[in-house]
Structures are given as C-alpha cells and as structure tokens.
Chain A
Amino acid sequence: MAAITEAERATRRLPHMSGAVARAWRIVGHHKSIVIGLGIVLFVFFIAVCAPLLAPYSPIKGQPLDRLKDIGAAGHILGADQQGRDVLSRLMYGARSSLVIAVVPLTIAGCVGLLLGSFAAYAGGVADTLIMRSMDVVFGLPPILLAIAVSATLGPGLLNLVISMTIVLLPPMTRVTHQVVAQLKEAAFVEAAKVAGASSQQIVFGQILPNSLAPVLAYGTSLAGAMVVFGAGISFIGLGIQPPEADWGRMINDGREVLDLHPHVSTLPGLAIFVLASGFNFIGDGLRDLLDPRMRI
C-alpha cells in the first residue's frame, strides 16, 4: 500500500464531517442571529419552568437578616432586596410572567388578527372597511396610554395585563395580515390556482394562509421583544403584576428607593429584561432575513 499523505487523509475524513454535524453547523453559521436568539429565549424558558427546582430561596418570603445584601454575599450570589428576598430566586420566578407577557398576548392577537385581517382583505367591500377602520381607531391611540387605560379599568393582575396587551397588539397584527393577504390576493399563483379550478375556500387555505403565515410570524416575533419591555413598564407603574409576586418590572420599582447605595436590586432585573428582549429581537431579525427572497441560498 502506498503511503497516504496527511492531506489525503484529511479529504477522506471530510465525508464524515459532511454528515449531520456539519450540516447543523452550516445552518447555525447561516442563521447566527436566530440561533443566538433561540438560545437566549429557551434558556429563560428553562429557568422559568424549573424555577421551583433551581431557585435557592422562596421568591416571596424574605429573611430580615439578609436585607440589602450585595452581589456575591454568602448565600446570596446576586444579593438580596430591602425585605431580604434573594434576588436570584426572584429573577428566576420573574421570568415566568415576562415570558407569558411576551408570548401569550402576541399569540392570541396574532391568531385573531390573522383571521380578521385575511377575512377583511379577501372579502373586500363593506366588511373590509368596517374591520380595518375600527382597527384604525384603536391604532390611533398611543399603545402605552391604551394599555394603561385598559389595565386601570380592568384592575391589576397578570390576566388583565394579558388582556390589555392583546387589545394593544390586535390592530398592528390585523393590519400586517391585511396587507400581506391583499398582496397575495393579486399574486399570479393565486390566479393560477383559480385557473386550475380551485374554489375561494381552497385558495384561502391552500395558498393564502400558508404564504401569509411566515411574514406575519416574523413580524409578530419582532414585536415580542418590545412586549417584554412594555409589560415590565406596566408592572413598573403598578398596574400589572402585584406584590409580593416576583416580576422584573415590579422588581425595578422595588429597587428604586435604594438605587444610589444598592443599585443591584434594580439593575439586575433591568438587565434580565434587556437580555430576554434582545433574544426575541434576534429571532425576529433572523426570521426577517430568512424570509427575504434575496437572502435565499
């Protein structure tokens, strides 16, 4: 047997590399932003779900002796707040409401908006005008004022916060769907489906919805990050999650009074909000790039 050079050996090893691992690696390389975003969001999701197992202390009961311990103190890696509650534990439990606020209102508003928007765009005429103009009325109000008004009317609490944010999100989601569907309605392949003998119903479920799902999803995801900040803001002013429940926006408010001497009480939840919001934004950006036909490989 002739001696095999190092280079030849390397090329022979390549086919093994081009298996599942190499392919996964290539996908990660092409869609870095989605992978990073997904990593962050899944990490937060894992912590939120496993909070009771992972958290070293109760998020609600404080130990008066541990009041305002700083970062790195014994027993409290991330310190404690004025009531002696462990900040790390509260951050872990607080992830729950932040995730709910980011995902649930968007999902509900997305589904309803998809139905309303596509119906309005496909039906046209009076139905279109009625649905879209009433959405415009809601859309005309500044979202933060609208959310505050709805939350103040319904009262505080997670459920009411979700309701008020759904109302805020419905007009933009409907409008985006409407725009996408109105465009698709005129698409050549929709006419081709009609020419092939498909009924309106078959076209809506066969062509319009599958083609509108991706852009609507990308838009929705890009809003999720903003919703994390938005929801925390409502809780911050006292209209969302109520004490003693752990919530990131609420925690920032709690630490406000000791910001000068013990900044970690406010800063850490702020940082958590920033990280989770960035995670969602990364996914949103990545999805948008992925959907851009010019970016297709």
Chain B
Amino acid sequence: MDAHVERKTFLSVRGLKTHFHTRHGVAKSVDGVDFHISKGERLGLIGESGSGKSVTALSIMRLVREPPGKIQGEIEFEGQDLVKLDQTGMRHIRGGRISMVFQDPLNHLDPVMKVGDWIAEALLLHRDLDRKEALTEAARMMKALKIASPEDVMRAYPFQLSGGMCQRVLIATAIVTEPALIICDEATSALDVTVQASILRSLTELTSLYGTALLLTTHNMLVVRQACTRVMVMYAGRMVESCDTDALFRQPMHPYTVGLLNSVPSLERVGQPLVPMPGEPPLPTEEIRGCAFYARCPIRRAACQERRPPLAEVAPGHWSACLFSEEARSKDTF
C-alpha cells in the first residue's frame, strides 16, 4: 500500500471476526476480514446470502447483538477503535460519522412520524440547530436527491409513499448529517430495476458531491458495476477477491467470482447459456479446513484441502484467495 492511499484512508478493518455463540455451535459469520476505505471511495461488498457481508456492515456500526455475538479484531475509524468504543461514543459515530441505509425502506421509517420530521430528528441528534433550520436542511437534501415537490413529501407519512420514495427519504436521512461513510446494506435489493438505477445514480452523485465514502453490500453484480469503484467478494466469512471494479469484470481471479459472473446475464455474452454454480456455501457453524470453496470448485486440487488459502496479491492491486488464480482467470473454467 503506498503512502498516498494510506493518508486518505479513514476506515481500516483488521482481522475482523464476528462470531455468534449459539446452541448449534459457534457461527463464524465473519472470520478474519481485512479492508480499508479511503475518503470518497465507493466500495462494493458482494456475496451470497450468509456470506457475512451484512454482518460485516453491522459490525462496523456495532449493531451486532452482544451476546450471542462477539466482535474481535480492529475497526479503526478516524483514529478510534470502534470495537473498543463505549455506547455513548458509538452514538456519536452512528448517524453522525457513519450512516446506514437498509433494505426494506418502508419498515425502516417510523409509521407515526411525518418523513420530514424523521429526517429533521436525525439531524438534530448530531447538530445544534433549531427545528425550523433542521426542516430547511431536510428539504434541501430532498431537493438534492431530485425528489419532486419535497414539501409535499415531507408532510407525508411513510405509508403514503412508494418504496423508491421511502428509500430516497432514508438516503436523505443518512446523508443530511454529512457523514464520512454511508453503508448501504442491500439498499436497492427490494426495488425494481429502474428505480434501483435512478437511486444508485443519485447516491453516487451525492456522495461524490460531499466526498462521502460508500460501502455497498449486495448480491447483485450489476449494482456493483454501476456504483462502485472497488469491489470485494466475500465467501463463507472471508474475502476471496478484492480489486478495482473494472478488473473484476474484465479478469476475475477467483473461481467463485468467475462462477458468479457466469451465472448473471450480460450483454457481452449474448447467446451464451447461463451457467449456474453447483452446490451451496458451507453453513456458518461448519468447521472449515482448507479452502471454503473446495466442494464447489471446478479447478480444485489436493493442495486446496491443506489450509485455507490466504488473500494474496496476484496482480498489481488485485488480490485473490486462490492457490491457482492464474488458472481461474481463463474464463472457460466453468
């Protein structure tokens, strides 16, 4: 990592492990994850359900219920270790420095509160303003999100609004405090494709305007392609590949990523059949020896079972956790 990147980095996650101690054993949802986010960067975190991407996001916000959850490792954010921070400290971080936008926008808004008040209240938690100023700020934010007639929307209750509109309101809530980072946890998954695209567009526009960084967790390759500059692929609680978005789509270096890309329709491969990936990811409670992807991998060897392959730099800025990355990159593996 060069000094230039190091200087702009404000969030470094090192050796993050989030384990849940349940009756059925220890669920290692996140099992040793390292990454960093720089100012204004848009990072995608991609993976199947249960890969640990949402738990990673929730761990940064310290919203994992402890117990049964347990967060280990280091989450260094603006000079503080969030893992060790107390609840009062976390309250200033949440909403103030790191905001979060969820899937299922309608249920994440208070049904008895007008949405304008909701945004204003969120702002008042972190800024010393009076109500009127907060409402003005809220209206300004909604205009920036290209919401038609923001005054009417602000007077509406959530149930009177569409899902896309509710998601815009939540994004306005997230960004109005001008945080350093916005985490979008499957934020567009519940919306139809056109609304999804338009929301992603306003999100990228606004974050680049304010210099806000974005961490986007999703299972949708196309969302990452549209919105993110860098991408990380998660599998069974660990990163298996990390690189620039372009590089990932041009030249994936991990067989899992190759499999994901082959199972998604794309204009570049019109006429070619979609290839589903066989098998299922391991259960989080399963003891994993060797590569977690072994059972589903088309290029597996005996060596893969010896130990879990570490993330290694296989090309400049391109990291992959596969012992045979060179082989995986030829796209005909599946």
Contact = CB atoms under 8 A, between A and B. Distances in A.
A198 interface: yes
Interface string B107-139: 111111100000001100110000000000000
B96 A192 contact: no
Contacts of A256: none
Contacts of A206: 110, 121
A210 B111 CA distance: 10
Interface residues of A, number: 20
A237 to B, nearest CB: 43
Interface string A183-198: 0000111011111111
Nearest to B110: A189
B159 A192 contact: no
A296 B157 CA distance: 12
B212 interface: no
Contact of B94 (A188, A189, A197, A202): A197
Given A197-B91, A197-B126, A191 B112 contact: no
A18 interface: no
B85 interface: no
Contacts of A188: 102, 104, 107-108
Contact of B109 (A189, A199, A293): A189
B247 interface: no
Interface in B50-75: 61, 63
A82 interface: no
Interface residues of B, number: 26
Given A293-B159, A296-B159, A192 B108 contact: yes
A211 interface: yes
Interface in B143-184: 159, 170, 173
Contact of A202 (B93, B96, B107, B125): B125
Given A192-B102, A195-B61, A211 B110 contact: yes
Nearest to A198: B125
Interface string A166-191: 00000000000000000000011101
A206 B113 CA distance: 9
A197 B107 CA distance: 18
Interface of B: 61, 63, 91-96, 99-100, 102, 104, 107-113, 121-122, 125-126, 159, 170, 173
Interface of A: 187-189, 191-199, 202, 206-207, 210-211, 214, 293, 296
Given A192-B109, A197-B126, A211-B110, 19 more contacts: A187-B107, A188-B102, A189-B107, A191-B102, A191-B108, A192-B102, A192-B170, A195-B61, A195-B100, A196-B94, A196-B95, A196-B121, A197-B91, A198-B125, A206-B110, A207-B110, A210-B110, A211-B112, A296-B159
